[in-house]
A and B are shown apart, each in its own frame.
Chain A
């Protein structure tokens, strides 16, 4: 059996001269089979092997993602706890700055109380800060405007107001004590922010 492959136009029929059809068919089939099988093999290898690496990487990725999820949950909890904390040092210093000279405080109380109407299920624990004090008129400013400016000072004081809603006046009464003149006794409260 002889093969002579030559596709030049002047030699077009030369390669066929010494080849018998049956031999060529067998050779062609064998050659085609080898090529096809080898390419199918490579193809399959390409499909199967690479995804295996992907699967391993995917599993690692999943582990990292799960751990990240746990960290995120813990971080969210810590953030919530941090948000719930009140820095009393800052608040006390701010209170000192915001209190006008004609006012002195008699009590500060931060506590929880049940709020909300209706049955027990509707009632919620709501924290509030109650401040009580006395204003003694010293200059031309009236006692009531001193209370108002004190509450406004606090409202404008960001460190003090952190976590609280605006102050609300609860009561004002006459104050009279020997040697101290007449003044007003006041009480106002700041409710804790609901989302805090």
Chain B
């Protein structure tokens, strides 16, 4: 009896040990399952986060493309050129395309704002309302340049021509995520294309219907003396500042001393360019033909150039 009890006791101990083992194995199984579930959940979370990140990056690129950030990175030649000079060329070409007279253009000013910068230019144009709208559309929609501080006034010269002053704002992002984004993109072509949308305005709201249109016409005298060079020169823009003086003559950039069409550029002023050939001085005004100067003007200009 004693022997049997002892054996039972031993059997009991063995069963307890096996029970403990079974308990741990059950625990192991539960933990294993729990971990697997957590792992699956974590994988799902990770995958959804990766998908969401990809979507946000795509949205960000769309938004950045719409804003035209890193404007100058889009043009490989811009990095080699002075930004003001580059922008002046670009705006001049657009103005020329839309028959807009670029009256003035100021060099760039950079405003650093945290992780982005604003590069500002100021300009003034004179044009008809319709051409002005198309000029602005090209800047805003195609070039993705923002227009700020816009002022439009009716011109005293012609009822259908208006003057506009504005600031142009280009965005440059320092964020590495966006900085190189547009480097691969080619600059948009400014030549007209058939697909291009032209804004047609119903009426010019600045046009005074009671005022007769006045168009400045050259006098008979002017026509007689300028007939030989009228077709040769077209002054479409002047970049005049303390640091640089550049004019766009016949769609070519010219500095003082350059020779254009056999005539030397002797002086670039805010509103005109003075050319010289065979001892004769010519004044070239924006969107006007060169006119030989009178003797008095000639001596005055010669003094200015000498200074």
Residues of B near any A CB (own CB < 8 A):
3-4, 6-7, 10-11, 13-14, 16-18, 20-22, 24-25, 27-28, 31-32, 35-36, 38-39, 42-43, 45-46, 49-50, 52-53, 56-57, 59-60, 63-64, 66-67, 69, 115-116, 129, 132-133, 136-137, 140-141, 146-154, 171, 175, 177-178, 199, 201-211
Contacts and interface: CB of A to CB of B under 8 A. Distances in A.
Interface in A115-137: 133-134, 136
Interface in A137-196: 177, 179-181
Contacts, number: 199
Contact of A29 (B3, B17, B46): B17
8 contacts: A43-B27, A61-B42, A71-B57, A88-B136, A93-B201, A101-B203, A111-B151, A133-B205
B140 A104 contact: no
B25 A39 contact: yes
A46 B116 CA distance: 51
Given A74-B175, A82-B66, A88 B147 contact: yes
A106 B13 contact: no
A56 to B, nearest CB: 10
A43 B153 CA distance: 84
Contacts of A104: 205-209
A64 B53 contact: yes
Nearest to B50: A64
Contacts of A107: 151-154
Given A24-B10, A53-B39, A111-B149, A89 B178 contact: no
Interface of A: 16, 19, 21, 24-25, 28-29, 31-33, 35-36, 38-40, 42-43, 46-47, 50-51, 53-54, 57-58, 60-61, 64-65, 67-68, 70-72, 74-75, 77-79, 81-82, 85-89, 92-93, 95-97, 99, 101, 103-112, 133-134, 136, 177, 179-181
A46 B31 contact: yes
Contacts of A88: 136, 140, 147, 150
Nearest to B141: A89
A68 B63 CA distance: 16
Contact of B56 (A19, A75, A106, A112): A75
Nearest to A108: B152
A72 B175 CA distance: 13
Contact of B42 (A39, A58, A75): A58
Nearest to B147: A88
Given A71-B53, A72-B56, A87 B209 contact: no
B47 to A, nearest CB: 10
B177 A61 contact: no
Nearest to A100: B205
Contact of A46 (B20, B32, B59, B175): B32
A94 B53 CA distance: 39
